[in-house]
């Protein structure tokens, strides 16, 4: 085991602070759309899962995809539903599950929010973005079951 060298030598320290900068930039960019980064993440995950699987995702699948806590995701998704950005409906085959469908208004807001996210990524990470994405993906694969 390596000896402690101080926080400035820790990749985790810099990852944490970089995530704070990224989140602040996302908050600023999403504010005009009336979304928080968490709301965007859940809304975009619902749409992405529906497009890639060809079926309406469950609330749990969306929470898992976005990395959100189940209870927090439920509250945020309820807020998105109240705004008319998605519909939560009981799964006809499992009364304990809710299926999520992004509405036309939700697709429009999500599309605009994705453009914000791309712009933030380009501004913050530039040409290093692709390499950084792959490095972070390798670490995150432990959580996502890819590793």
Residue range 92-99: mean pLDDT, rounded: 92
Domains and CATH numbers, the chain: 35-144 (1.10.10.10)
Burial 107-118 (b: 16+ CB within 10 A, else e): eebbeebeebbe
At 57-93, the pLDDT tens digits run 999 999 999 999 999 999 999 999 999 999 999 999 9
Lowest model confidence (mean pLDDT) among 8-22, 37-51, 110-124: 8-22
SS (H, E, C) the chain: CCCCCCHHHCHHHHHHHHHHHHHHHHHHHHHHHCCCHHHHHHHHHHHHHHHHHCCCCEHHHHHHHHCCCHHHHHHHHHHHHHCCCEEEEEECCEEEEEEEEECHHHHHHHHHHHHHHHHHHHHHHHHHHHHHHHHHHHHHHHHHCCC
pTM of the full structure: 0.89
Task: Give the per-residue pLDDT at 41.
Answer: 97
pLDDT in tens, 110-124: 999 999 999 999 999
């Amino acid at each position: 085991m390596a000896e402690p060298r101080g926080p400035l030598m820790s990749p985790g320290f810099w990852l944490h602070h970089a995530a704070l900068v990224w989140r602040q930039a996302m908050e600023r960019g999403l504010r005009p759309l009336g979304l928080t980064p968490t709301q965007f993440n859940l809304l975009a995950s619902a749409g992405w899962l529906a497009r890639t699987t060809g079926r309406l995702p469950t609330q749990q699948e969306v929470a898992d995809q976005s990395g959100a806590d189940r209870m927090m995701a439920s509250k945020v998704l309820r807020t998105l539903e109240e705004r008319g950005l998605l519909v939560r409906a009981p799964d006809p085959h499992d009364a304990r599950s809710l299926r999520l469908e992004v509405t036309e208004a939700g697709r429009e807001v999500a599309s605009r929010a994705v453009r914000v996210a791309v712009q933030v990524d380009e501004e913050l990470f530039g040409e290093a973005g692709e390499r950084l994405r792959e490095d972070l993906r390798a670490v995150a694969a432990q959580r996502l079951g890819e590793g």
